[in-house]
């Protein structure tokens, strides 16, 4: 597989982080690899926290010329002039988000392991869909997004697909031929040296 055919990297922020320390960690990670997009994925609903985090992350993202999208909050994406939104409810809000944000914004949809939801999201105007978790402790009902799903998608559907959730070097190696992006978050932020952890995952693609 040629370098150019390797999946791109899509970075997901931790659900909470220290504003005084995280921008430097993020910057160090962006220095070691080419990142296609960053998703601000905070667990909080506190608008003030979200605004301050978005400002801090956007500064780093723009310095490295990387797009920044925010989880769920279409209104905040508009207000903050972010590059788009990542929707966590499958295909349900895609049409609304596209209408609100316009044709230039990035609109992505997390579809668990549902082919049907992914296809509907695409029909409704999503720029990409993400499936997961691909490994580790699965969310809620125990369903993992299996390699077969990505394989089918990459053969049948042109819309870019993201593999995320519970990635290990083994899973990265296994999914590299069948995904367009890897969504990488806790896998690196839980490690002391996030940049080194990312390098390990990148090495597993080759």
Q: Does residue 127 have a cis peptide bond before it, meaning omega lies within 30 degrees of 0?
A: no
Spacing of C-alpha 151 from chain mean position: 19
**Which has more pLDDT, 3 or 199?**
199
How does the average pLDDT of the chain come out, rounded? 95
Q: Where are the domains of the chain?
A: 3-203
Cα torsion 80, 85, 88, 90: sign: positive
pLDDT for res 137: 65
Q: What is the pLDDT of residues 91-143, one digit of tens each?
A: 999 999 999 999 999 999 999 999 999 999 999 999 999 999 999 865 566 78
Q: What's the number of CA atoms in the CB half-sphere (13 Å) around residue 131? A: 27
Q: What is the pLDDT of residues 73-97, one digit of tens each?
A: 999 999 999 999 999 999 999 999 9
What predicted TM-score, i.e. pTM, was given to this entire model? 0.95
pLDDT for res 2: 39
The CATH T-level fold of domain 3-203 is TIM Barrel (3.20.20)
Residue 180 has pLDDT above 80, yes or no: yes
């Amino acid at each position: 597989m040629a370098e150019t055919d390797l999946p791109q990297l899509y970075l997901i922020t931790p659900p909470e982080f220290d504003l005084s320390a995280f921008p430097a960690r993020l910057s160090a990670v962006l220095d070691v690899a080419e990142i296609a997009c960053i998703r601000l994925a905070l667990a909080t609903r506190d608008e003030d926290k979200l605004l301050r985090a978005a400002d801090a992350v956007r500064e780093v993202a723009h310095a490295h010329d990387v797009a920044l999208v925010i989880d769920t909050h279409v209104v905040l994406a508009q207000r903050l002039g972010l590059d788009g939104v990542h929707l966590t409810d499958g295909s349900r809000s895609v049409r609304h988000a596209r209408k609100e944000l316009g044709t230039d914004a990035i609109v992505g949809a997390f579809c668990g392991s549902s082919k049907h939801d992914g296809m509907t999201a695409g029909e409704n105007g999503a720029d990409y869909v993400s499936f997961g978790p691909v490994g580790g402790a699965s969310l809620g009902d125990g369903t993992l997004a299996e390699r077969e799903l990505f394989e089918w998608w990459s053969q049948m559907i042109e819309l870019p697909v993201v593999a995320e959730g519970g990635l290990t070097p083994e899973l990265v190696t296994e999914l590299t031929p069948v995904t367009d992006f890897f969504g990488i978050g806790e896998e690196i932020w839980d490690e002391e040296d996030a940049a080194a952890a990312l390098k390990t995952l990148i090495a597993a693609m080759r």
